[in-house]
Structure 1
């Protein structure tokens, strides 16, 4: 058990012996996160506390802490309170690797780890996840993340095959807009969304008149907006990883007088975009996994978050971590703390009401299978239609 193993393509050898010894591995069937007496059960989290994603990272923490406060107020899990341990990923891939390595090497009794919301960061730690044998509850939406034969990844947001389908269907079949331009990040999230969006636009009889990629953290989209304007799209569908980038892009679209219907991926509904653009979002559309009022649990969560953290608005960052802690708690209560038992229990979750939707995990580890379309009235995203593609 103390023999060290190496992670593929990873040189953090000092952590590996601890992972093999304390946390188990897929080959050994998973370790246990047992705690004696009434000691706390620990949940790890990789989140941005610094860097460009710090504001959204704090929302992730807020959502998880809210769930933990609610669960602990009811006695925790069989008398064990829950404790959240957060490591800063610094909004970088390398920082994510370091944060994950620290969690698995220094905290041997974690029930699970709440992983990144950005797909590129999940990709960065994928080899480590598989080797660790710890359930990792992710928010990254690149469809491939749960299709790479890693049995320890569980997604608590719907993947982008569903968001792309929702965007294309609504633009073409509901709004009658067939000439569509796509603007997407060139990272894993953006390229995955672009691939599926082109597929579904064609499926529903639409036409991609322009397809433009950009690099994260760009500060000027003039060349892209100019190219879009020359293509005369009826609608612009976007996959932006960072809300701050999307805000710059949308501001320039409006400044250039590009009159096309906006349909954004979930980042358009983030607190970052709403704070930066306000009522100028009026009339724009978005597809999102969390919108206040999309289901009864979304309202319960939204009210609780605003009460616990005055001035903080619920969004996709806080909702999925709130859901993840609650689902994990239900599984541990039923299945125990062994990692393999938790994994098996997560795969068996059916009809669990979450703020983001009803969780039904498939064999790949995807828990949600639909998206909500919202339309902005001023700065407020209002629910237009909820799509659920779950087919058991």
Structure 2
């Protein structure tokens, strides 16, 4: 769905001032769960088949002599993560508008070929294989789910020397794959913050259920380690659940059999919606306090659960610098295009596209190896702070090197480290009167 009626000057200003603060809310207006993911991040510096071979920009058929660069994107267009894929589509299209208004090099356009991962690891691998092996893209953005991003890295991009940038994946497991870059921060700091939040609220005994994939495993491990080893609490139940089930009553019954005073749900929007409804039917919501992470913030949850079923719930979610000019410009353009307010997840997708475009502008050639050698440099703090593709491209076109610029994303400072991870901004949220309320910020 392409953006419509967007003020181009607003788009070109989509980065604002410096990002000193913390972050803002995390839910994309009407249909966007602010979820999570499984793993993400990419980037490679090894040679390989298609990603390591030089790919030239293609001339268009307009007769104008301009050219285009095509990169790939694997996104969740169908399946249980599709609401998150929609938010990425919106952020991607806004970033493309801003990049192509300026042009890469002598005016080349950026194009993105998108494949659907169907919200599964195998679907992600299939899509990535088409983009890399058939289309020959040297850079791939994707995906939402952490497990999907990891599967793409392990099976496709790493050996092919293709740069990978996950827009949304948060699992700590991505950090163990240094060639996998990501725009959203690792969930490790979030897991620690969530454990502290629960403990500080007076809960010493908790029950945890987590979705059985890389996202759930990584976040639950950090939570349990912090809660027990560092805080001295007890995790009396710590078990996984499968994705896409019609009922989780057995899980809830087991959690209710413990002495836990708080239940922690590390899962996705669809699964949590089922759990909330079943917990409400059994009266569990009045007996224990609920906690969650970013994936349990979604308008679809509010819309499909009864009032009172989550009152008092709390959690930790990724956030954006709400009070900063660049984020405000992004919000204005987003609201103009889609008549709804974005969340940080769309901002991550926007930044993934912008960083990819800057890498193309900065690289000596359009190959995986060349792009990998500069993709992190354009984000690091040694260079001049720039807040839009236009500002950054002007320095590069004037002979500047990648290390001469420090792109400040609309989602916050990117500053990719040696593991391809950015710093993190988080925010505490709660549910009051069946609405999400966002409170204090946490910086990792």
Q: Distance in 2 between matches of 1:45 and 1:340?
A: 18
Which of the numbers 404, 409, 412 marks the counterpart of 1:354? 409
Which of the numbers 307, 315, 330 marks the counterpart of 1:286? 315
Given that residues 372 and 387 in structure 1 are in contact (C-alpha distance below 8 angstroms), is that contact kept between their aligned partners in structure 2?
A: yes
Q: Give the CA deviation at 1:100.
A: 0.5
Given that residues 290 and 298 in structure 1 are in contact (C-alpha distance below 8 angstroms), is that contact kept between their aligned partners in structure 2?
A: no
Q: Give the CA deviation at 1:159.
A: 1.5
Given that residues 147 and 364 in structure 1 are in contact (C-alpha distance below 8 angstroms), is that contact kept between their aligned partners in structure 2?
A: yes
Q: Distance in 1 between matches of 2:50 and 2:241?
A: 42
Q: Distance in 2 between matches of 1:278 and 1:136?
A: 40
Helix, strand or coil: the match of 2:111? strand
Given that residues 156 and 368 in structure 1 are in contact (C-alpha distance below 8 angstroms), is that contact kept between their aligned partners in structure 2?
A: no
Residue in 1 that maps onto 2:395: none
Q: Give the CA deviation at 1:104.
A: 0.9
Which of the numbers 394, 398, 421 marks the counterpart of 1:366? 421
Instruction: Say if 1:73 and 1:194 are closer, same or farther in 2 by CA, change over 3 A.
Output: same
Instruction: Say if 1:272 and 1:106 are closer, same or farther in 2 by CA, change over 3 A.
Output: farther
Residue in 1 that maps onto 2:181: 154
Instruction: Say if 1:273 and 1:345 are closer, same or farther in 2 by CA, change over 3 A.
Output: farther
Aligned counterparts, 1:262-277, within 5 A: 262-277=290-305
Q: Distance in 2 between matches of 1:293 and 1:133?
A: 36
Q: Give the CA deviation at 1:60.
A: 1.6
Q: Give the CA deviation at 1:308.
A: 1.1
Given that residues 208 and 263 in structure 2 are in contact (C-alpha distance below 8 angstroms), is that contact kept between their aligned partners in structure 1?
A: yes
**Cα deviation 1:54-84 (Å, max 9, x = unaligned):** 3322222121111111222344554122212
**Cα deviation 1:214-245 (Å, max 9, x = unaligned):** 111112121221222222323222211x3111
Q: Distance in 1 between matches of 2:305 and 2:96?
A: 32
Which of the numbers 192, 200, 222 marks the counterpart of 2:226? 200
Q: Number of matched residues?
A: 360
**Uncovered stretches (5+) of structure 1, i.e. residues with no partner:** 1-18, 25-29
TM-score (norm 1): 0.82
Residue in 1 that maps onto 2:394: none
Residue in 1 that maps onto 2:205: 179
**Cα deviation 1:245-274 (Å, max 9, x = unaligned):** 111112222332223222211111234334
Aligned counterparts, 1:210-221, within 5 A: 210-221=237-248
**Structure 1 residues 196-205 or 140-149, which shifts more?**
140-149
Larger relative contact order (Cα-Cα within 8 Å, sequence gap ≥ 6): 2
Aligned counterparts, 1:31-110, within 5 A: 31-32=54-55, 34-35=57-58, 38-76=66-104, 78-108=106-136, 110=137
Q: Distance in 1 between matches of 2:129 and 2:194?
A: 37
Residue in 2 that maps onto 1:191: 217
Residue in 1 that maps onto 2:8: none
| Residue 383 (structure 1) aligned with residue 433 (structure 2) | no
Q: Give the CA deviation at 1:122.
A: 2.1
Given that residues 295 and 357 in structure 1 are in contact (C-alpha distance below 8 angstroms), is that contact kept between their aligned partners in structure 2?
A: no
Q: Give the CA deviation at 1:160.
A: 1.8
**Uncovered stretches (5+) of structure 2, i.e. residues with no partner:** 1-46, 60-64, 382-406
Instruction: Say if 1:171 and 1:21 are closer, same or farther in 2 by CA, change over 3 A.
Output: closer
Helix, strand or coil: the match of 1:224? helix
Q: Distance in 2 between matches of 1:267 and 1:316?
A: 13
Q: Distance in 2 between matches of 1:226 and 1:303?
A: 45
Q: Distance in 2 between matches of 1:366 and 1:107?
A: 27
Q: Distance in 2 between matches of 1:355 and 1:216?
A: 32
| Residue 323 (structure 1) aligned with residue 351 (structure 2) | yes
The CA RMSD over aligned residues, in Å, is: 2.6
